[in-house]
Structure 1
């Protein structure tokens, strides 16, 4: 996506996602301004999903280990195993491309939620810089679906998928 047309398309996609999140029944701004409207369970799931998404989208080629550990701390099951198995490749690629990425969650919706599982859709923007970008980086727009499960009293991410 480049230029004015790319920004318009990204903005339109963000509006569609927010509309879908509202249709699901709950939208929380990146600043948490509507947290008082959430139940305790929804707040807990939203915090876990936001934390995991930010960890997942953050890259720093100078120090990847704590970032990888942050993702793994909020992960479980097959997602955790797959991510852990890619740690060397992730680190190698970040260093090779001199990549950095700083993310922010701009919208988050808690969909299905019961005592042991939840589905969260979220929109995040990330400023990405590497050898091929200018020094200010490029903003990328992500839409994610996170499946969470409650294990040992904590909400952990069992799957992360990019959605359109």
Structure 2
């Protein structure tokens, strides 16, 4: 291939690369624009689901009572009852295994929603350590479906399920 042909090929690749970068920028911009178009109710439900997912996935064997209270503060109905019934076991096992879990929400989406209920899907990662991990944190990937209900001016989690 001659010098001139190589220059044309390099120029062509540059144009394609710039085009891809521009397209990626447009996709990111469009995705951000969708986030800002959520209604106030969707934003409130999303914020409540994010907070509950983080509270649910956070574990610190040195402060479990407070963490359980944080989950229960955002819970209602059957989910609150089931979680409260497991309080003693959750605290005991976290202390016994010296467990910690530090989560982050990486994505979420508000599904069906009306004035009094919403479904929110949450993708979260968490760095988990316990006596079984020998001090090294392991990343775990969680996908959650939260069913929220409005009680007064608050969105509370009525059901939380792990999904695949």
Partner of 1:82: 82
In the alignment, the residues of structure 1 paired with residue 36 and residue 142 of structure 2 have an alpha-carbon distance, to the nearest angstrom, of 26
* Secondary structure at 1:115 match in 2: coil
Q: Which runs of 5+ in 1 are unaligned?
A: 1-28
* Larger-Rg structure: 2
Alignment length (residue pairs)? 134
Corresponding position of 1:46: 46
Task: Give me the TM-score of the superposition, normalised by structure 2.
Answer: 0.78
Higher helix fraction: Structure 1 or Structure 2? 2
Residue in 1 that maps onto 2:11: none
Deviation at residue 39 of structure 1 after TM alignment: 1.0
Structure 2 gap segments, 5+ residues each = 1-30
Per-residue deviation, residues 87-137 of structure 1 (Å, max 9, x unmatched): 000000000100000000001010000000000111000000000114230
Could you say which structure has the greater relative contact order, defined with CA pairs below 8 angstroms and 6 or more residues apart? 1
Deviations 1:26-55 (A, max 9, x none): xxx9xx886422111110000000000000
Counterpart in the other structure of 1:122: 122
Matches within 5 A, 1:106-145: 106-145=106-145
Matches within 5 A, 1:1-164: 35-164=35-164
Query: What's the Cα RMSD here?
Result: 1.5
Residue aligned with 2:81, SS = helix
